[in-house]
């Protein structure tokens, strides 16, 4: 499995890609070419062109959750894409989402998406390749994660506090252990890793990349670090929605890599 960071908040010095506070990963495994999320604007497309990656060859799109910093870029991609691309997603990801009066959900309704791609929604885990799994809905077991709603989602015409039940992730099963790939981890990074272990029947975690949605909550930082350490995570790639404070704490005990646009990771 090869992963390339097409969009992140961070860029590296001397590499002239574009960044934005959003996320998009390009993943190749077996014969599939997969986009996990699509950022906020067309930045991911510009970066892909600079990297000579042809997004017209995509076979799959996986959406981690419906927020616009992960989905809004779809409007720059889908209308020009061939229709046999399969989009895999939790059933709530295309529900309208608001923060107050501001719209923060996906740029297409579910009906519009159905006319643009092969749409596959699932609460349960779905295999994208023989080793890469979309986890579906993440069971929430920890008491220090996913505590607060973010705005509201509209379900059956009614606005409800949005606990982002659509928030999911990918896991890659290598022979050496699991590599977990997240969007924003609104469901909790520890909950995600714990569910990945359960779904795959594997306890070894070789790495984890993505947003962990950790900012200034000291209890969450401490308990997450304890969880990472007790699971002996070999390499951590925190990005997008992880504060400097959290990264600094993680670096005291773990092997942490700096993530930026253009980063390539190969897991065998
Ligand atoms: Zn989000
Ligand atoms: Zn995000």
73-99 pLDDT, tens digit per residue, is 999 999 999 879 999 999 999 999 999
SS3 (DSSP) at 121: strand
- Give the number of whichever ligand sits closest to the CA of residue 24: 2
Domain spanning 2-266, CATH architecture: 4-Layer Sandwich (3.60)
d(CA 195, CA 210): 16
Backbone angles phi, psi at 241, to 5 degrees: -125, 55
Q: Using CA atoms, how far apart are residues 210 and 259, in angstroms rounded to an integer? A: 9
Sorted by where each begins, the domain ranges of the chain are 2-266
**d(Cα 122, Cα 166) in Å, to the nearest integer?**
10
Expressed in angstroms, the distance from the first to the final Cα of the chain is 6
Look at 80-84, 169-173, 205-209, 256-260 and tell me which has the smallest mean pLDDT: 80-84
Q: How far is the CA of 43 from the centre of ligand 1 (A)?
A: 18
Please tell me the distance between residue 189's alpha carbon and the centre of ligand 2 in angstroms: 13
What is the DSSP pairing of strand 169-174 with strand 132-134?
antiparallel
Give backbone dihedrals phi and psi of 72, rounded to 5 degrees, phi first.
Answer: -60, -30
> Averaged over 58-77, what is the pLDDT?
98
Cα–ligand 1 centroid distance for 5 (angstroms):
17
Q: Which ligand is nearest to the CA of 164?
A: 1
**Confidence check: pLDDT of 145 > 80:** yes
CA of 185 to the centre of ligand 2 (A): 8
Q: Which ligand is nearest to the CA of 66?
A: 1
Ligand 2 center–CA 174 separation, angstroms: 26
Tell me how far the alpha carbon of residue 176 lies from the centroid of ligand 1, in angstroms.
30
Which residues, 6 or more positions from 201, have their beta carbon under 8 angstroms from its beta carbon?
A: none
Q: What's the whole-model pTM score? A: 0.98
């Amino acid at each position: 499995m090869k992963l390339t960071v097409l969009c992140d908040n961070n860029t590296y010095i001397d590499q002239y890609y574009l960044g934005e506070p959003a996320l998009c990963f390009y993943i190749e495994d077996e014969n599939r070419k997969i986009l996990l999320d699509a950022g906020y604007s067309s930045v991911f497309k510009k970066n892909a062109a600079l990297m000579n990656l042809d997004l017209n060859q995509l076979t799959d799109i996986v959406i981690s959750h419906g927020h616009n910093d992960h989905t809004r870029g779809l409007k720059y991609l889908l209308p020009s894409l061939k229709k046999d691309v399969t989009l895999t997603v939790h059933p709530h990801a295309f529900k309208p989402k608001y923060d107050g009066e501001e719209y923060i959900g996906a740029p297409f309704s579910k009906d519009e998406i159905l006319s643009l791609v092969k749409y596959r929604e699932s609460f349960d885990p779905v295999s994208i390749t023989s080793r890469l799994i979309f986890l579906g809905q993440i069971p929430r077991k920890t008491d220090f994660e996913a505590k607060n709603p973010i705005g509201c989602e509209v379900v059956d015409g009614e606005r409800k506090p949005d606990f982002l039940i659509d928030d999911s992730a990918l896991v890659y099963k290598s022979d050496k252990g699991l590599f977990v790939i997240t969007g924003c981890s609104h469901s909790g990074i520890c909950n995600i890793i714990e569910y990945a272990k359960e779904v795959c029947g594997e306890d070894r975690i070789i790495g984890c990349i993505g947003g962990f949605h950790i900012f200034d909550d000291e209890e969450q930082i401490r308990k997450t670090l304890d969880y990472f350490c007790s699971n002996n995570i070999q390499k951590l790639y925190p990005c997008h929605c992880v504060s400097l404070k959290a990264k600094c704490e993680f670096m005291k005990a773990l092997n942490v890599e700096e993530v930026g646009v253009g980063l390539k990771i190969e897991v065998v």
